[in-house]
Amino acid sequence: VKRDSRNGFRFFTREMQAHSVRTLTLANALRTAQERGQLSLMYQPQLCLHTDQVIGAEALLRWHHPQLGMVPPAEFIPIAESTGLIVDIGHWVMCEAAAQASRWRRDGLPPLSIAVNLSAVQFRNPRLSDRVAQVLDEAGLPAEALELELTEATTMEDPQKAVLIIDQLSARGVAMSIDDFGTGHSSLSYLKRFRVGRLKIDRSFVRDITEDAEDKAIVAAIIQLANNLGMTTIAEGVETAGQLDFLREQGCDAAQGYFFSRPLSASDFERYLSATLMR
């Protein structure tokens, strides 16, 4: 038990200590992860539900540490955010994904859109839109081939400012989507003012969509809302044919999930794409 001057006693358990030691270890190792070649990107296919074609991929960051093994993004992204390392790491992700998308275009693959997750910390950076423009320029990638995924929580931190940043990015032609939609507390009046092309329906609503009446209602409402606001929808975490049927019935435009494919290395993604083109 540790003495806390304001709150009396605070419990400091062995578990918490182990947790903070790991956090410190990870934070320290993360500093050099990129230069040591421990970071890589996986690409998860996104399919159009009207044409059944692959229309894009979400780039997902992986960290393989020689001693610690694979560290899940859910564990290291928050550390990267709290240490500020996410600014450089996120920039690397954007460069890497843009370069890959550009190579795919040059190799004659069908034009794909590449989605990159943007942290709230990156989103707040006043030079974001210049940086994005520079990344696209260096990769030789048209702006509309890049999609930035902002979580609903990120946009709602300061929605007025978010409107301006989104406008700047969309003026440059970059596509944007609101990720994990339905989990935050979006004010619908702001949603209308965000110039984003699509809403990404969170996995937590898709999971029980075949049984849970409330989840069905929520997903149907999100799709309708998006339609009414002139946005498209993509569902994440689609794992079964039953989930897909419901989403199609409701008019969802696109989907992503293990039912189609897990996140793939760039070369596996190319193989996946050629297999779908032969169907």
Q: Which does 77 bind (CB under 5 to 8 A by kind): ligand C2E, Ca ion, none?
A: ligand C2E
Q: Indicate whether 73 belongs to the interface with ligand C2E (CB under 6 A).
A: yes
Q: Indicate whether 90 belongs to the interface with ligand C2E (CB under 6 A).
A: yes
Q: Which of residues 131 and 203 has its CB atom nearest to Ca ion in the complex?
A: 203
Q: Indicate whether 44 belongs to the interface with ligand C2E (CB under 6 A).
A: yes
Query: Read out DSSP for 106-118?
Result: HTTPPP-EEEEE-
Q: How far apart are CA 234 and CA 215, in angstroms?
A: 16
Q: Which does 154 bind (CB under 5 to 8 A by kind): ligand C2E, Ca ion, none?
A: none
Question: Site mask, ligand C2E, residues 176-195, x = CB under 6 A?
Answer: ---xx---------------
> How many residues are recorded in the chain?
279
Taking the complex as a whole, the smallest distance from the CB of residue 179 to ligand C2E amounts, in Å, to 5
Taking the complex as a whole, the smallest distance from the CB of residue 19 to Ca ion amounts, in Å, to 23
Q: Which of residues 77 and 79 has its CB atom nearest to ligand C2E in the complex?
A: 77
Distances (CA, A) of 146 to 13, 253, 262: 45, 18, 21
Binding site for ligand C2E (CB under 6 A): 44, 60-61, 72-74, 77, 90, 93, 117, 119, 179-180, 236-239, 257-258, 263
